[in-house]
DNA sequence: GGGCAGGCATCGA
DNA sequence: TCGATGCCTGCC
């Protein structure tokens, strides 16, 4: 028997079923956009099994020391976990406290961001583990998403704790203490190149407590960026990604070459002031990023198209 | 085989 | 303070 619950303080209504929790799909929860907009690297679309043939999409991800499968079924999203796990882990991870419809309205005063927000309806910013965000965005430099994902998977397979999920072996993201105990040769199988040394250094700093990742979430964005850029191989762009995706700092505004290009094109060469979006700046950035990546035909390389076909087949 | 990719650090002007 | 360059690797 399904039981409908709602948390008035928390604005989300959900239904508790047999071994799953489900929410209404609404307009601001698109797994495709959330998992493919470049903020995370460990969520994959599953091939549909017989039991899921009425589902439109099934996704499995490893995050926060857990493995979760979720399914898009009609107008609902099913989270295949207990209610307790949903409330304690996934509610925060998927940023359910935030009203994305209201946020899209707020940033739509500007015509360019209005188009981006309409196009990217369904995106949410995940509140990821800060250590995982730090590692994955260190690996992201001068790299494409496919390759980042494969390096991250090798990293987890080599050093993460194994779990069995739906008959398959998966690996949790390795803790900084585990990585800090390694040396450069141990990381060679990752084929991460010069980024491997940055990972080792970050692990040593995090494991020793010199880099207090959890505490950075409580301070200001400027303090977090300052602490992160003190690490080897972490510049302003990567630090802002970690602040936005790992520390919940929604005013952090990572500027990469794509965002740079978009801002130059749409704000007439004037220096763009991200603070006009206040605490929404980082999320506005994600809508812009997603929008321009899909506008730009150069991005649609044959490899990208093939990947898309394979994954949606 | 050279260029390039969602960056960073270093060096020389 | 700014621009050029090397860094690993993999793909076109």
Residue whose CA is minimally distant from C10 C1': A147
Residue A121 main-chain phi, psi, to 5 deg: -55, 125
Q: What is the pLDDT of residue A261?
A: 86
Q: What is the pLDDT of residue A68?
A: 98
A259 CA vs B11 C1’ separation (Å) = 28
Q: What is the pLDDT of residue A223?
A: 96
**Per-residue CA distances from A3 to A16, A20, A106 (Å):** 5, 11, 34
Encode pLDDT of A125-177 as tens digits: 999 999 999 999 999 999 999 999 999 999 999 999 999 999 999 999 999 99
Which tokens is A194 given?
A: 């010069």
**Per-residue CA distances from A180 to A136, A175, A177, A212, A215 (Å):** 16, 9, 5, 15, 20
List protein-proximal bases of chain C (any atom < 7 A from a CB).
7-12
**A232 CB and strand B closer than 7 A:** yes
List protein-proximal bases of chain B (any atom < 7 A from a CB).
5-9
**A201 CB and strand B closer than 7 A:** no
**A244 CB and strand B closer than 7 A:** no
Q: What is the pLDDT of residue A267?
A: 83
Which tokens is A95 given?
A: 């940023």
Pick out the nucleotide with least CA–C1' distance to A195.
C8
**CB distance A205 to A231 below 8 Å:** yes
Pick out the nucleotide with least CA–C1' distance to A259.
B6
Q: Is A221 helix (H, G, I), strand (E, B) or coil?
A: helix
The catalytic residue positions of A are: 237
**CB distance A244 to A229 below 8 Å:** no
**A241 CB and strand B closer than 7 A:** yes
d(CA A241, CA A211): 16
The dihedral formed by the CA atoms of A179, A175, A230 and A251, expressed in degrees to the nearest 10:
150
Provide residues 181-200 of A with CB closer than 7 Å to any strand B atom. Answer: 194
A194 phi-psi bin (left φ>0, alpha ψ -120 to 50, beta other): alpha
Residue segments in chain A with a per-residue pLDDT below the cut of 70: 1-3, 6-10, 269-270, 296-313
Pick out the nucleotide with least CA–C1' distance to A289.
B6
Cα distance from N-terminal residue to C-terminal residue, chain A = 34
Q: What is the pLDDT of residue A27?
A: 84
Name residues whose C-beta falls within 8 Å of residue A82's C-beta, 6 or more positions apart in sequence: A19, A21
Q: What is the pLDDT of residue A10?
A: 59
Pairing of strands A66-73, A12-17: unpaired
Beta bridge partners of A77: A23, A72
Q: What is the pLDDT of residue A269?
A: 60
Q: What is the pLDDT of residue A8?
A: 47
Strand positions, DSSP E, A38-126: 43-45, 57-63, 66-73, 76-79
């Amino acid at each position: 028997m399904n039981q409908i619950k709602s948390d008035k303080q928390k604005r989300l209504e959900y239904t508790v079923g047999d071994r799953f929790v489900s929410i209404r799909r609404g307009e601001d929860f698109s797994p495709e956009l959330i998992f493919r907009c470049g903020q995370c690297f460990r969520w994959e679309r599953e091939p549909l099994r017989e039991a899921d043939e009425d589902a439109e999409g099934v996704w499995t991800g490893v995050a926060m020391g857990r493995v979760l499968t979720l399914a898009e079924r009609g107008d609902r999203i099913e989270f295949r976990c207990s209610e307790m796990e949903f409330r304690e882990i996934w509610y925060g991870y998927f940023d359910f406290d935030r009203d994305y419809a209201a946020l899209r309205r707020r940033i739509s005063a500007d015509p360019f961001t209005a188009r981006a927000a309409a196009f990217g309806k369904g995106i949410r910013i995940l509140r990821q583990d800060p250590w995982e965000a730090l590692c994955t965005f260190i690996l992201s430099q001068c790299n494409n998403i496919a390759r980042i994902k494969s390096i991250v998977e090798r990293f987890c397979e080599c050093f993460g704790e194994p779990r069995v999920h739906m008959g398959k072996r998966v690996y949790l993201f390795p803790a900084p203490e585990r990585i800090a105990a390694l040396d450069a040769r141990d990381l060679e199988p990752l084929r991460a190149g010069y980024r491997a040394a940055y990972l080792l250094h970050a692990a040593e700093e995090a494991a020793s407590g010199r880099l207090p990742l959890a505490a950075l979430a409580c301070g200001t964005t400027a303090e977090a960026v300052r602490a992160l850029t003190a690490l080897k191989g972490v510049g302003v762009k990567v630090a802002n990604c970690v602040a936005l995706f790992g520390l919940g700092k929604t005013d952090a505004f990572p500027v990469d070459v794509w965002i740079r290009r978009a801002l130059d094109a749409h704000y007439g060469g004037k220096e763009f002031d991200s603070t006009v979006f206040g605490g929404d700046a980082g999320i506005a950035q994600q809508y812009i990023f997603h929008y321009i990546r899909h506008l730009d035909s150069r991005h649609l390389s044959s490899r990208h198209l093939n990947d898309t076909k394979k994954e949606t087949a």
